A and B are shown apart, each in its own frame.
Chain A
């Protein structure tokens, strides 16, 4: 973990202070989503409002089926918005673009490309000069600690490694915002914890603006600077919770009183289905 040993000079209190409050990166305004199907219309989300500031790590939690993935896909421009508006930086989104990188729950590395070529994909598309491409690839291979796998094909990697490459591929493209939809939910608990730590460390150093969907409350509290809790379908924002926890985090944080208290608080806000 030597790579992340506090090179950055950042205030050590809460990340809330670091975020430039005037600078909204993602602004979701009165968004509604209706799915039309043969069986009729489904109101998946209604009246969703949220704000992600520059350099913030924001998590969205909520019961299954409340529309977390839908919301993220709308921000990515992959799903249409039925009503309302989503503003990235200062423009309303109309479709997908390289300004919004995404890491998916399913493994989405391009299987015919090596790890390095996967990371390079977005840079090639954007016609970044070759030597710059190589430098960026080197940098991110180091960040995800997979230098040795530069020339491996995705089928030779474990699930956790694949997701690390997917994160590197998205970050290498230097998007305005990074969208993540339950990227660690298919991993075993040990790998998942390692990935959470890595993700937090990457964020502490690189400071990307992240919108992260999960249904794992512990994960949300550990990673984020702010949590939005959604209600069950039709999903809408139930509560916005700032996460006042130390800036430098490692896995031992999960055992602290403050962490457990916050985790319980968030948990109590989630609608539980009657089974």
Chain B
């Protein structure tokens, strides 16, 4: 008898419960480890201390201020990457000539470590807001182009051919068939990319910053203020999760026709 079946669907409630449980268990383990003194406070701060840190950061307004500026940097870097990356990606996924020009370049650049670009970026665009936005942009753009191209390539040939036999020209085929057909996957790609953008925040705020969530973490490092480091990391995680959920929700609402969706 097989009791545990592969890919067996579970109820939504059960799913949510298990998800919450995994967080609860981790927080419980964390509390246990720090309260009993099993792990030194320098390595692992007391959860109560992290909460205290949040309270004081909310009170002096720095939490909101840092979140706001970081959100601004991420969104701007991300939006520029999206606005430029989507057309380039579609071009690359549609015409092999464009692919030959773009793909090798993107594959080459995307393996370069973004933090290593930081000093260069400071030379190129200065140390103002542009520098932080540029880091987020570089971190996401090349990956995005490759993923958008794959989304465009995933549109079945016969869907395109069906369009041709119904009278579409090549530009019509791109705008009336390829783009609508790839939209659900494209939104999934954007959802993943905004996640990547969040992970580049700390690198971005390495650049002569004096505000932002990433900057707060870097600054706290110097004073070994583990409670602030933890607080910052967890906050970035929460904000990332929220943006992710917003995209997932939009996907479901915008593309009810998509196959395989629940």
Contact = CB atoms under 8 A, between A and B. Distances in A.
Interface string B246-262: 00000000011111000
A125 B162 CA distance: 13
A106 B177 CA distance: 16
B162 to A, nearest CB: 4
Given A111-B257, A111-B259, A122-B166, A78 B159 contact: no
**What DSSP secondary structure best describes chain A's contact surface?**
loop
A106 B180 contact: no
Range of interface residues on A (Cβ < 8 Å): 20 to 34
A153 B165 contact: no
Interface residues of B, number: 22
**What DSSP secondary structure best describes chain B's contact surface?**
helix
A76 interface: yes
Contacts of B124: none
A108 B255 contact: no
A102 B168 contact: no
A126 interface: yes
A106 B167 contact: no
A125 B172 contact: yes
Contact of B167 (A154, A166, A173): A173
B181 A126 contact: no
Contact of A96 (B159, B165, B181, B259): B165
B156 A110 contact: no
Interface of A: 76-78, 95-98, 100-102, 104, 106, 108, 110-113, 121-122, 125-126, 153-155, 166, 169-170, 173, 175, 179
20 contacts: A76-B161, A76-B165, A77-B164, A78-B164, A78-B165, A96-B164, A98-B167, A101-B166, A108-B158, A108-B159, A108-B162, A110-B177, A111-B258, A111-B259, A112-B180, A112-B183, A125-B166, A154-B257, A170-B165, A170-B166
Given A76-B165, A125-B176, 4 more contacts: A76-B164, A112-B180, A121-B163, A125-B167
10 closest cross-chain pairs (CB), A and B: A98-B167, A122-B166, A96-B164, A108-B162, A102-B165, A153-B257, A125-B167, A108-B158, A104-B158, A112-B180
